[in-house]
Structure 1
Amino acid sequence: MLKTAENQRLANGWDDGRAKGMSESEKLLYRSNLLGSDKRITNYGGGNTSAKAMETDPLSGEAVEVLWVKGSGGDVGSIRMDGFATLYMDKLNALKGVYRGPEFEDEMVGYLPHCTFNLNPRAASIDTPLHAYVPKKHVDHMHPDAIIAIAASQNSKALTQEIFGDEIGWLPWKRPGYELGLWLETFCRENPNAKGVILESHGLFTWADDARECYELTLRVIQQAMDWFAERTAGVPAFGGAKHQSLPADQRRDVASRLMPAIRGMISGQQAMVGHFDDSDAVLEFVNARNMEPLAALGTSCPDHFLRTKIRPLVVAFDPARPDVDATLAGLADAVAAYRADYAAYYDRCKHPDSPALRDPNAVVYLVPGVGMITFARDKATARISGEFYVNAINVMRGASSVSTYVGLPEQEAFDIEYWLLEEAKLQRMPKPKSLAGRVALVTGGAGGIGSATAERYLAEGACVMLADIDAAALADTGAALAKRHGKDVVRTVAMNVTDETAVAAAYAVMAVEFGGVDILVSNAGIASSAPVEDTSLALWNKNMDILSTGYFLVSRAAFRMMRAQDMGGSIIFVASKNGLAASPNASAYCTAKAAEIHLARCLALEGAEAGIRVNVVNPDAVLRGSKIWSGEWLDQRASTYKTDKEGLEEMYRQRSMLKRSVYPEDIAEAAYFFASDHASKSTGNILNVDAGNVQAFTR
């Protein structure tokens, strides 16, 4: 049985009350969002929808038929009205007069902008002709696992007939494009009673003249396929039955936390990669199966699958019955190199004279028996989505191999889509990556003013951020706020006491599983204390040393270990204090600990240089806003030391500075960004004072 079915029937979410009064284009949006809300119907970014509606021509004022169709690169589940391309149907039909045949079909994409209605800037996708030439008002094209399992079976045409009779037809594999649009038109004319068609190795088309009817038809056809598989595969061992047993959940994550930084380092030569780990039931069933390796070698079938996951995964040599991670790590480099060589050979076998240059030859998907699936991509969302697509491929292989023989897309066809010139043009139009794209940062003291501001700055530049703090409640609030602004994919939180060696190691393990490793450490956790030396207890002294000296050592040591495992270099930034350079009255414990912190950074800069690990220091002063250490007793004590009150303390600090300016968390964040970025790639062992000027803190 397909795991995506989850023993639940597809829910009909159509609400006539909500749809009442909607235009045809608004019903299209409503239908699209409903279809995209269930991943059993289509995967993220997969499939498309359309409606043909009468609109007023802005030039003639006459009613004209317009095709509304999902634009290039959109997702039906999250699409909005501006995500649809709009094209004149009469001009789309006129394209038939300039079509020169299948060998020239790619040039038809260049004509689509000439068909644009009302100067709509949304680019039309390659699938536009597939919707335009179906002679029905509403068309759905979905990629449900249950349907693709039929489409990827060796006898897919016979299965289609067995399950659906004449209601749903079948067409052989054809790359999406203009010619396939004409095939669909011909099929509809020759089979006027058909309500849809299954495209071999591709997906499902359904159509109707009413939006609700089209939506409910799509659901019914998919459910019919799911029910058929449930009946036919009941009691049939998936993938030939189990060969391995899964490790316990905590051990699976432990293995992944050790493998992921090593893999990440091996595949990040062109750009830093971000990882994702999946040990869901569907994944474990596959990676543990007797037929996993031969099925995986066949590659995926649906074009959307291998565009996201490459033609096939890399199977990691790991035996969960005799788990030896060190041995697996020792063999990883050769396995990764062999995959690259195989991929380059695939490119050389299939390339054409005008093919784009060889792209990154590393695997996207890594299958680990007994452990799960690891995926890597240039950003976290893409890594996660690539994993989701391979789960779709697993579901397809499960279904097809249980009722027939699974058939992957022929190698040359797979190559021709992966290295399609139109796909290359789309890649070239993508925006330039942000300056910290693919980088992973750990920020300790992440719930405080400086920590959260630094995380905000890094996230804005494309980094993934793990926030660590001992204050669980504040950490949760800060993480939620950052995730709301930047997306859930790129923000993680972990409660961590920097003085607890076990907690620090556990936090790095979590970060390795969530993101694949670490590139940037901002050591920012802190406290502050103020007391005359004769009133400074040993406990107070030790507390400062534990957090500000030992804590910085522990998180840096763990960072060094992971950065060396990756062999990608890295940047460590200590947020110290002006007080580490300039003495301050009634704060001997704090000042001494901060001085130790600064000297530790210098020592680490010496040790890290040969590995490309840079270590630098930012020295703030008097950052009151948003700082947890400037609350309660510390604020009272500093106000007392300088003979002022709470309200006057910030003004006192401002006037004390050479520039007469306040220092804010965002100012420290900017310095931390500089040291993390490539702008500081030749800087290590440095101290940057961000204190509005203090002559006593000048470095000598």
Structure 2
Amino acid sequence: MTKSTDLQRLENKWDAERSAKMTEPEKLLYRSNLLGSDKRITNYGGGNTSAKVMQKDPLTGDMTEVLWVKGSGGDVGSIKMDGFSTLYMEKLNALRGIYRGVEFEDEMVGLLPHCTFNLNPRAASIDTPLHAYVPAKHVDHMHPDAIIAIAAAKDSKALTQKVFGDSIGWLPWKKPGYELGLWLSDFCAKNPDAKGVVLESHGLFTWADDAQDCYDLTLEIIQAAMDWFAMETADKAAFGGEKHRRLKADQRRATAARLMPAIRGMVSGQQHMVGHFTDNDAVLEFVNANDMERLAALGTSCPDHFLRTKICPLVVDFDPANPDIDKTLAGLEAAVTEYREGYKAYYERCKHAISPALRDPNAVVYLVPGVGMITFAKDKATARISGEFYVNAINVMRGADAVSEYQGLPEQEAFDIEYWLLEEAKLQRMPKPKSLAGRVALVTGGAGGIGSATAERYLREGACVMLADIDDAALAETAEILTERYSKDVVRTVNMNVTEEAAVIDAYSTVAAEFGGVDILVSNAGIASSAPIEETTLELWNKNMSILSTGYFLVSREAFNVFNVQKMGGAIVFVASKNGLAASPNASAYCTAKASEIHLARCLALEGAPSGIRVNVVNPDAVLKGSKIWQGDWLDQRADTYGTDKSGLEEMYRERSMLKRSVLPEDIAEAAYFLASDLSSKSTGNIINVDAGNVQAFTR
């Protein structure tokens, strides 16, 4: 349900000329993607679409009717052709004869694979019977906020009649499944002129015998609901009016950055969690409203909303009129514990003998008056999507409570969906988490060769990465490449000069607000200089010390501060140099600063160990590929030092190594991954040389 001030017409994007060249399955895909492209029509992963198509049976050669329907776990906005299940309608109809009643409806899901057409491996969703037993050829099931606001109202049946007349019917709440499919079939038989139905506390079904007609009808019904709400709520204060004033944008973000690492540490007991912060107008209107706490306690209504956001959110005790973050932080642990105990009590009240074991009892959604909404989940995408779902829920509550009385899903019904054995089976089928899933890494010098290679290695293992650098153009280019490969959810950038204390502190505030905290610091920002001692100016000496020693101190100190708030330990990896152990001619400033790095790492390993903070060092040598330090004067100076030219320098470095091999950024990244991962969980204060072998750099 969009606010009346934001109301826009739903755009009909159907291209009749384009669709005329499509097969019926292709039209289904086209329709699905169009519907899923607008979150006012359906939320991410929510709803499903279908088409009944005549196709040749591969066994008999005869034409047979096949149901194409969105498969389990897909998203209509991004679905491809392989995302649809295909089932024989003849066999789906045969299931009616062996259905044993509502007590046994879950067993029908196990029979759906027996109806598969053409050996399609895509698992059929629980909503398959609802599509199969509607007689129309094309069916849309969407979760528009405007419709769910009607469905979640106390008098939703009367509102449905008021808004749509007899064209759209109404069915009372029933958990999705085979029995609901039979209810819908019965409704269609008794109401042959109906164009669709509102399912209480759930969503909208619409149907037609032509793909475009079905698409047009779906938009028409949703638009009618949006227009009706716009008229009915135009002069009404949402959620009982304003109770709190919103803080300024920078204050909201700063407050979230203080709260999120603390919450993250409290809720990451079973696995590392990633956070997402939302402070859009819809969220701020809700968290600042008089009725926020009453409505939040009722929970969400639509099953899709509920599965993503849990039974209800946790409202953080924060007064924006007297913003005392330290006081809020002091009370957070008790609030989180109280929520956990309440969730466990809910589980005990509602569980059945066959219910799956208690899952993570922590809240997903945290509402902060004056500030916004924080969500935590096992990965960034899920945290973001959970927040989007709660925004859907806010829109539903706004509409339902304005024209009637909002009602959440009854507790037992909510539990039966959350702990449904079929839902548990879906969770069990999910792939094993990657080794750095839920971890957040800050990589300084992130736009350089070693920094970007390390970031990519972490991303490949499921981490979120904040790239920090002083080169905005290189940052943008690196982020674009990594985002294309790993998604925009997991890559962020920040301009940070490691020698400026305020910039470092701000960067950690940014990573906290973006991801909830940090688990891994890769301190990699660097320069290189070459000059005989007589020609080494104080300015050059101080520059090396400022970046390579002071900079490493500053970023490490702030990492310790975040680690200590989270209380989950952490990993720091210094990218030092062979020159920190082995002296090199004409590079006294560089070598000394690198030696300082290594000793700083040892000191930090000593201090961090009691808190589970590990600090280790990777010592590269002669990494030419993609490295900024080999650009400009340094390359000329080192070539001159060793009596060669630029083109011969790499060969010279390779030949002087014991293994006679070039060292690449990816080699350093592999060591940085090992030292940040649980593979090295019992290692701290160590140095790994990645230099192809240099006897002078052997540690002793």
Q: What TM-score comes out, normalization by structure 2 length?
A: 1.00
- Give the letter for the 1:180 counterpart: L
1:580 offset after TM fit, Å? 0.1
Distance 2:466 2:101 in 1: 53
Residue by residue over 1:253-302, the C-alpha shift from the partner in whole angstroms, topping out at 9 and shown as x without a partner, is 01000000000000000000000000000000000000000100000000
Residue by residue over 1:211-267, the C-alpha shift from the partner in whole angstroms, topping out at 9 and shown as x without a partner, is 000000000000000000000001100000000000000000010000000000000
Matched, 1:64 2:67: no
Structure 2 unaligned regions, length at least 5 = none
Structure 1 unaligned regions, length at least 5 = none
Matched, 1:209 2:209: yes
Distance 2:5 2:212 in 1: 23
Matched, 1:566 2:566: yes
Partner of residue 671, structure 2: 671
Indicate conservation of the 8 Å contact 1:4/1:395, yes or no: no
Distance 2:294 2:7 in 1: 28
Partner of residue 373, structure 1: 373
- Give the letter for the 2:525 counterpart: A
Indicate the SS of the match to 1:28. helix
Matched, 1:263 2:263: yes
Partner of residue 246, structure 1: 246
Partner of residue 340, structure 2: 340
1:98 offset after TM fit, Å? 1.0
Distance 2:55 2:589 in 1: 75
Partner of residue 199, structure 2: 199
Residue by residue over 1:508-551, the C-alpha shift from the partner in whole angstroms, topping out at 9 and shown as x without a partner, is 00000000000000000000000000000000000000000000
Distance 2:188 2:36 in 1: 25
Indicate the SS of the match to 2:529. coil
Indicate the SS of the match to 1:489. coil
Indicate conservation of the 8 Å contact 2:4/2:230, yes or no: no
Indicate conservation of the 8 Å contact 2:25/2:68, yes or no: yes
Distance 2:681 2:534 in 1: 45
Distance 1:378 1:498 in 2: 30
Indicate conservation of the 8 Å contact 1:259/1:329, yes or no: yes
Distance 1:415 1:270 in 2: 21
Distance 1:451 1:661 in 2: 21
Report 1:371-450 matches (<5 A). Answer: 371-450=371-450
Indicate conservation of the 8 Å contact 1:4/1:145, yes or no: no
1:632 offset after TM fit, Å? 1.4
Distance 2:466 2:310 in 1: 29
Partner of residue 235, structure 1: 235
Distance 1:63 1:692 in 2: 66
Indicate conservation of the 8 Å contact 2:457/2:669, yes or no: yes
Indicate the SS of the match to 1:644. coil
Kindly report structure 1 stretches of 4+ aligned residues shifted beyond 6 Å: none
Residue by residue over 1:84-134, the C-alpha shift from the partner in whole angstroms, topping out at 9 and shown as x without a partner, is 000000000001111000000000000000000000010000000000000
Matched, 1:221 2:221: yes
Distance 1:581 1:209 in 2: 76
Indicate the SS of the match to 2:105. helix
Distance 2:530 2:664 in 1: 22
Indicate conservation of the 8 Å contact 1:261/1:562, yes or no: yes
Residue by residue over 1:36-85, the C-alpha shift from the partner in whole angstroms, topping out at 9 and shown as x without a partner, is 00000000000000000001111111111000000000000000000000
Distance 1:41 1:455 in 2: 37
1:5 offset after TM fit, Å? 7.9
C-alpha spacing 1:145/1:4, structure 2 compared with 1 (3 Å): farther
Distance 2:140 2:3 in 1: 23
Distance 1:17 1:496 in 2: 51
Indicate the SS of the match to 1:467. strand
Partner of residue 577, structure 1: 577
Indicate the SS of the match to 1:170. strand
Distance 1:444 1:3 in 2: 42
Distance 1:62 1:538 in 2: 88
- Give the letter for the 2:498 counterpart: V
Indicate the SS of the match to 2:499. coil
Partner of residue 182, structure 2: 182
Indicate the SS of the match to 2:549. helix
Indicate the SS of the match to 1:609. helix
Indicate conservation of the 8 Å contact 1:375/1:387, yes or no: yes
Distance 1:481 1:215 in 2: 36
Partner of residue 155, structure 1: 155
Matched, 1:2 2:2: yes
Indicate conservation of the 8 Å contact 2:469/2:475, yes or no: yes
Indicate the SS of the match to 1:572. strand
1:7 offset after TM fit, Å? 2.0
- Give the letter for the 1:613 counterpart: I
Distance 1:201 1:536 in 2: 74
1:21 offset after TM fit, Å? 1.7
Distance 2:397 2:533 in 1: 71
Partner of residue 309, structure 1: 309
1:631 offset after TM fit, Å? 1.3
Distance 1:668 1:408 in 2: 53
Partner of residue 548, structure 1: 548
1:20 offset after TM fit, Å? 1.1
Matched, 1:172 2:199: no
C-alpha spacing 1:301/1:4, structure 2 compared with 1 (3 Å): farther
Indicate conservation of the 8 Å contact 1:4/1:40, yes or no: no
- Report the identity percentage: 81
- Give the letter for the 1:331 counterpart: G
CA RMSD of aligned residues (A): 0.7
1:593 offset after TM fit, Å? 0.2
1:6 offset after TM fit, Å? 2.4
Distance 2:59 2:161 in 1: 48
Residue by residue over 1:374-410, the C-alpha shift from the partner in whole angstroms, topping out at 9 and shown as x without a partner, is 0000000000000000000000000000000001010
Residue by residue over 1:140-189, the C-alpha shift from the partner in whole angstroms, topping out at 9 and shown as x without a partner, is 00000000000000000000000000000000000000000001100000
1:4 offset after TM fit, Å? 8.6
Partner of residue 652, structure 2: 652
Residue by residue over 1:658-683, the C-alpha shift from the partner in whole angstroms, topping out at 9 and shown as x without a partner, is 01111000000000000010000000
Indicate the SS of the match to 2:363. coil
Indicate conservation of the 8 Å contact 2:4/2:233, yes or no: no
Distance 1:195 1:312 in 2: 34
Indicate the SS of the match to 2:326. helix
Report 1:481-496 matches (<5 A). Answer: 481-496=481-496
Q: What TM-score comes out, normalization by structure 1 length?
A: 1.00
- Give the letter for the 1:451 counterpart: G
Distance 1:21 1:539 in 2: 70
Distance 2:234 2:189 in 1: 38
Indicate the SS of the match to 2:131. helix
Indicate the SS of the match to 1:455. helix
Indicate the SS of the match to 2:173. coil
Distance 2:506 2:561 in 1: 13
Matched, 1:521 2:521: yes
Partner of residue 459, structure 2: 459
Matched, 1:285 2:289: no
Indicate conservation of the 8 Å contact 2:4/2:234, yes or no: no
Distance 1:5 1:184 in 2: 35
Indicate conservation of the 8 Å contact 1:129/1:181, yes or no: yes
Report 1:107-146 matches (<5 A). Answer: 107-146=107-146
Distance 1:61 1:570 in 2: 62
Indicate conservation of the 8 Å contact 2:3/2:230, yes or no: no
1:2 offset after TM fit, Å? 2.7
Distance 2:264 2:602 in 1: 28
- Give the letter for the 2:322 counterpart: R
1:346 offset after TM fit, Å? 0.1
Residues paired across the two proteins, number: 700
1:313 offset after TM fit, Å? 0.1
Distance 2:276 2:570 in 1: 20
Report 1:531-542 matches (<5 A). Answer: 531-542=531-542
